[in-house]
């Protein structure tokens, strides 16, 4: 499993005969969650499965937990699956954990030894729960990407005990029951499945790729036996994001989520986002599924993309929400020191809000500037080493030569001035601003305000499927 890695063009790419169309974006600042009151089900045996792309780390945000799934009767009777601190060391964040109480006492407490901090990656998480097992350590199994994880148990559930998942009470996806601000999930979920009455292993939900046998991929789960309270959320209906397609009609209530939060960034086509692990120390805040950068101090700060590029033609969009202190956007070489004024470094090419183009740290030219809500269309032609920039569909920079230092390039955005400057980056998977027209690339991927085609030449959204073909 990749930890703290960036996505570079891969030498081989797995095939995905089963395609996942949509995911749902959760933002930890927006009180996003899905809730449902269950009827009575099997409280001893069940399975929860989801594909998860976590877009922040607990240490970075200073949050306590990221809740994935929670059953809540009251504080004395509850059970949660979440990201938290490891059992062995409370200073180590971002492990997977399951914790529960019964009648006011801890009834379940176990965590993985591994931590999961790669904000560019989709992980498949399966929790199989079965208190009927004779051996205590067999009563909880957590799998990530098809591999059973080593668990540290502080409290093992008692044999044949009833726990708070599947009780006649409220169940929540993406947060604790009371919408506590320190437990909101931050990231994307896809293919969320609950099986009532059976503890399944991960092969019911995924398989290893035959050509790339270390890569785990999803399979069609529609034929599973879901049980009374079982559900399958595929997030394909933007008007009913909590729609259960298992056949049980166990629909969830949507809280503060809208059609804007439906995404095509999925475990079968991973789109670029901003990466909080690839950012300046004075990095501001990155929100809405890592698509919005907001400056947070009177200094230049910025973040780069999760996917790096070496060749091909690529398109993304930027909306400037404010320009109180200035902004840069463009590309940066992977060898640059991002904590030492990236816009002044060799290997960088940026548009600057003062109307200049910066290359290798030097600015020149006099170009049109952006106002609030203007949308910039950025065309990266790495085959000819050029960048073109459009404002609201009209050209302001055409065929500007990129830095002659050409290693792996990452999209990079920068802002300044105490939280006033905000750049919304649309890589196509989850637009962070309203799209009125809707344009996909020539492969049918992405959702953009303006066309990715420039002068009859196709440019492509930055995602793993396009990267496999053109990168």
Half-sphere exposure at residue 119, Cβ-oriented, CA atoms within 13 angstroms:
24
Write out pLDDT tens, residues 157-172: 999 999 999 999 999 9
Residue-level pLDDT at 58: 63
Using CA atoms, how far residue 143 sits from 47, 50, 201, 267, 468, in Å, is 11, 11, 8, 16, 27
Whether the CB-CB separation of 271 and 264 falls below 8 Å is answered with: yes
Highest mean pLDDT among 6-15, 166-175, 318-327: 166-175
Q: What is the mean pLDDT of residues 303-325?
A: 90
Calpha distance 447→22 (Å, rounded): 13
Q: Give the model's pLDDT for residue 320.
A: 87
pTM over 0.75: yes
According to DSSP, the residues that pair with 358 across neighbouring strands are 350, 363
Task: State the DSSP string of 209-270.
Answer: -SSSTT-EEE---TTS---TT-EEE----TT-TT-B-SSS--PPEEES--GGGEES-BTTB-
> What mean pLDDT do residues 270-278 have?
92
Burial code of 338-349, b = ≥16 C-beta within 10 A, e = fewer?
beebbbebebbb
At residue 65, the pLDDT reads 72
Q: What is the pLDDT of residues 369-405, one digit of tens each?
A: 998 889 999 999 999 999 999 999 999 999 999 987 6
If DSSP codes are grouped into helix, strand and coil, which group holds residue 181? helix
pLDDT of residue 277: 84
What pLDDT does residue 2 have?
Answer: 34
Name which CATH class applies to 274-470: mainly beta
What is the Cα–Cα distance from 416 to 384, expressed in whole angstroms? 32
How many residues are listed for the chain in this entry?
471
E-state strands within 75-122: 77-84, 95-102, 105-112
Instruction: Specify which residues 130 forms β-bridges with.
Output: 45
| Pick from 196, 245, 242: nearest CA to 221 | 245
- Position 10 scores a pLDDT of 42
Matching fold, domains 23-263 and 274-470: yes
* C-alpha pair distances (Å), 84 with each of 2, 60, 420: 19, 13, 31
**pLDDT tens, position by position, 70-96:** 999 888 999 999 998 665 566 677 899
What does the pLDDT look like over 12-62, one tens digit per residue? 455 668 999 999 999 888 889 999 999 999 999 999 999 999 988 765 554
Residue with the larger pLDDT of the pair 455 and 285: 455
CA separation for the pair 181, 55 (Å, rounded)? 16
Give mean pLDDT, residues 106-132. 95
Tens-place pLDDT, residues 227-254:
999 999 999 999 999 999 999 999 999 9
Q: Using a pLDDT cut of 90, give the percent of the chain over it.
A: 70
227 CB-near residues (< 8 Å, 6+ apart)? 41, 42, 46, 195, 196, 197, 198
Q: Which CATH class is domain 23-263?
A: mainly beta
pLDDT at 140: 98
Share of the chain above pLDDT 70, in %: 89
- Tokens 């879901």 belong to residue: 226
Which residue ranges make up each domain of the chain?
A: 23-263, 274-470
């Amino acid at each position: 499993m990749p930890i703290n890695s960036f996505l570079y063009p891969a030498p081989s790419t797995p095939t995905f005969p089963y395609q996942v169309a949509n995911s749902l974006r959760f933002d930890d600042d927006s009180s996003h969650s899905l809730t449902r009151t269950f009827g009575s089900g099997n409280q001893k045996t069940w399975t929860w499965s989801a594909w998860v792309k976590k877009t922040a780390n607990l240490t970075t945000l200073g949050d306590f937990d990221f809740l994935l799934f929670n059953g809540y009767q009251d504080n004395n009777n509850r059970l949660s699956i979440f990201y938290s601190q490891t059992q062995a060391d409370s200073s180590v964040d971002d492990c997977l954990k399951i914790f529960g109480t019964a009648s006011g006492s801890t009834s379940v407490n176990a965590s993985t030894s591994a931590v999961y901090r790669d904000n560019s990656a989709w992980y498949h998480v399966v929790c199989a729960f079965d208190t009927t097992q004779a051996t205590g350590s067999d009563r909880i199994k957590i799998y990530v990407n098809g591999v059973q994880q080593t668990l540290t148990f502080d409290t093992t559930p008692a044999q044949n005990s009833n726990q708070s998942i599947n009780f006649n009470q409220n169940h929540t996806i993406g947060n604790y029951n009371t919408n506590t601000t320190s437990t909101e999930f931050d990231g994307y979920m896809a293919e969320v499945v609950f099986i009532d009455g059976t503890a399944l292993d991960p092969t019911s939900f995924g398989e290893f790729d035959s050509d790339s046998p270390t890569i785990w991929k999803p399979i069609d789960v529609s034929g599973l036996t879901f049980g009374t309270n079982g559900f399958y959320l595929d997030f394909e209906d933007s008007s009913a994001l909590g729609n259960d397609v298992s056949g049980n009609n166990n629909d969830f209530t949507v809280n503060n989520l809208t059609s804007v939060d439906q995404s095509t960034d999925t475990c079968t086509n991973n789109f670029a986002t901003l990466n909080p692990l690839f950012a300046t120390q004075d990095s501001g805040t990155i929100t809405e599924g890592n698509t919005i950068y907001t400056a947070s101090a009177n200094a230049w700060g910025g973040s780069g993309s999760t996917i790096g590029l070496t060749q091909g033609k690529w398109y993304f969009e930027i909306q400037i929400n404010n320009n109180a202190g200035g902004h840069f956007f463009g590309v940066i070489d992977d060898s640059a020191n991002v904590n030492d004024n990236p816009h002044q470094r060799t290997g960088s090419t940026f548009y600057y809000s003062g109307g200049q183009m910066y290359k290798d740290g030097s600015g020149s030219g006099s170009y049109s500037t952006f106002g609030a809500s203007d949308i910039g269309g950025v065309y990266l032609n790495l085959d000819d080493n050029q960048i073109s920039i459009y404002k609201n569909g009209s050209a302001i920079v055409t065929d500007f030569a990129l830095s002659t230092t050409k290693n792996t390039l990452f999209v990079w955005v920068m802002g300044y001035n105490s939280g006033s400057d905000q750049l919304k980056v649309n890589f196509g998977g989850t637009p962070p601003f309203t799209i009125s027209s809707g344009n996909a690339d020539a492969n049918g991927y992405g959702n953009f305000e303006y066309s990715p085609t420039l002068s009859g030449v196709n440019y492509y959204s930055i995602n793993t499927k396009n990267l496999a073909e053109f990168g």
